Structure 1
């Protein structure tokens, strides 16, 4: 009378073993391991004539700029996207007055160092510093992180600076990129090659577990109106490459249902959670 139940149990155990063996051979699901994304205040500026960024419109009109940096906590380490206006500008009562009066007067209400300290993050904790491009409002504090590996497009790194000077300190550790790069190898943080504003401009696609996908534009686009109207600033390195990169970003946004976070757009930043709040 006990043979029936025993056989049933043995069959059940054998079936379970088959299932476990099958699962052991399956590839693990790739999931995002970005834990947090902080938006940092990396500068506030004013342009006397915004039309060099909005060709054909708003001629002679002033405009407010903001400058964001983004701190990403990943299971494999910290990544800082852009470093903003030099913290030394915080000590200048009138801000960093530009040599070109039509350029941007930058101020630094909060230093990058103080914001990292508030979060309990030391400069030595930063594993990677990824730079959208090499304009001063994006690389002002690179040498605050002398041990962090720079992630920069080769075309940007080799682009001569003023007087043919190098754009980074030669001894700073760097990984030169020739296109896109999956930074942590899990699809959660991907550098996108988006040239046009400068020869080696890049943007960042971040997949957050709760917020979803976001594209950090760098200066691939400066304002929402420029995005909507596909306007290209007159100061850009290449209009054609800029438009191509904007289309590439649009295609990625459609594919991943991603949000567009525009670095210098003050109206958008007014709606965002700023550090020490964060996105996850």
Structure 2
């Protein structure tokens, strides 16, 4: 049964002993700024089990959220959003994306868009200064049109996907209008100018150590994550986007699914499996560091357990000492 994808039990001692702490995260400074992180509803999809973990049962799928996040700076009160979830009107996606959504049985349901989640949580959309998009897949780009003042931030690898997207290329999975190009900042390789913890390439977004954008290769071009402090005294959260689609891949209990069908087509959730596995290993090393949470976009178990207070206007609580 695929329901095991929801299981999150204490890790066996054999796995815990194998977790490498790697480079530690930097300690807080005096009066360290941090980020209030809140989850946002962004729709739900069904993901085939055999696409997620090696040996997953064929023909079964699991209902997963497509989480987005509100990020608010503790001092400046600057409001940032990470990802935009799923569009309610699937006709807004490219013809190829619509075809893929149907063929794969993703059956998206959007009871509340990210924009609606923000408003319900008491945030005017005009308050959102920046929207950081982990990558350009359809279940993360949502609908940018309600956000008329925000600057969008994406990895440099997203540029070509946008400029060569539909309708420039009628067979593209990506849309050239997925983001407002005139208000989009593409992060260049030089922007990722420092290492932090296990990650060699990071950007100190606010310049005060409160939040870092992490280069997270392997899934698709331009994929980025967020590493944010959630308290002034040493708590952190890693928002992993689609670095993994099952938490057991983070812990090392399962391996990334990868197969080739009869037509020779590779079936894998990641464009570059080797880079994705390396990135997952870096994330796994965070599990050996006290007070660090790891949250991926399609974490069904976390979603079921935290539907209330962790969602705006509530806050995901920092791990205690």
Residue of structure 2 aligned with 1:242, choices 261, 276, 286: 276
Question: Structure 2 length normalisation: TM-score?
Answer: 0.69
Contact 1:87 1:112 in 2 (8 A): no
Aligned to 2:84: 83
2:179 aligned with 1:168: yes
Shift of 1:64: 0.9
Tell me the residue number matched to 1:157: 159
Question: Partner residue of 2:38?
Answer: 38
Counterpart for residue 297 of structure 2: 263
* Of 144-153 and 97-106, the range deviating more from structure 2: 97-106
What CA RMSD, in Å, does the superposition of the two structures yield over aligned residues?
2.4
Contact 1:54 1:232 in 2 (8 A): yes
- Provide closer, same or farther for how the CA distance between residues 232 and 132 of structure 1 changes in structure 2, counting only shifts above 3 A: farther
Q: Determine if the alignment matches structure 1 residue 213 to structure 2 residue 212.
A: no
The answer to whether residue 214 in structure 2 is matched with residue 192 in structure 1 is yes
Task: Give the 3-state SS of the residue equivalent to 2:227 in structure 1.
Answer: strand
Q: State the number of aligned residues.
A: 245
Task: Mark the CA change 1:29 to 1:276 in structure 2 (over 3 Å): closer, same or farther.
Answer: closer
- Provide Cα deviations, 1:50-89, integer angstroms capped at 9, x if missing partner: 2122243222112111111100111331010001101446
CA distance in 1, matches of 2:269, 2:244: 12
| Cα distance, 1:256 vs structure 2 | 6.3
Q: 1:204 to 1:99 in 2, by over 3 A?
A: closer
User: Residue 232 of structure 1 contacts residue 242 of structure 1 at CA under 8 Å; is this kept in 2?
Assistant: no
Give the whole-Å Cα distance in 2 for the aligned partners of 1:103 and 1:157.
Answer: 29
Instruction: String of CA shifts for 1:221-272, please: whole Å, max 9, x gaps.
Output: 1111232323156131100110111122223454564111121021121122
TM-score normalised according to structure 1 size: 0.78
1:9-158 mapped onto 2 (5 Å cutoff): 29=30, 31-34=32-35, 36-47=36-47, 49-74=48-73, 75-76=75-76, 77-88=78-89, 99-158=101-160
Q: In the alignment, is the contact (CA less than 8 A) between 1:206 and 1:213 conserved in 2?
A: yes
Distance change in 2, residues 1:220/1:151 (3 Å)? same
Whole-angstrom distance in 2 between the partners of 1:226 and 1:249: 10
Q: Distance in 2 between matches of 1:153 and 1:126?
A: 19
Relative to 1, partners in 2 of residues 1:172 and 1:256: Cα closer, same or farther, differing over 3 Å? farther
Higher helix share: 1
Q: How far apart in 1 are the matches of 2:316 and 2:102?
A: 37
CA distance in 2, matches of 1:181, 1:232: 30
Select the structure of larger CA radius of gyration. 1
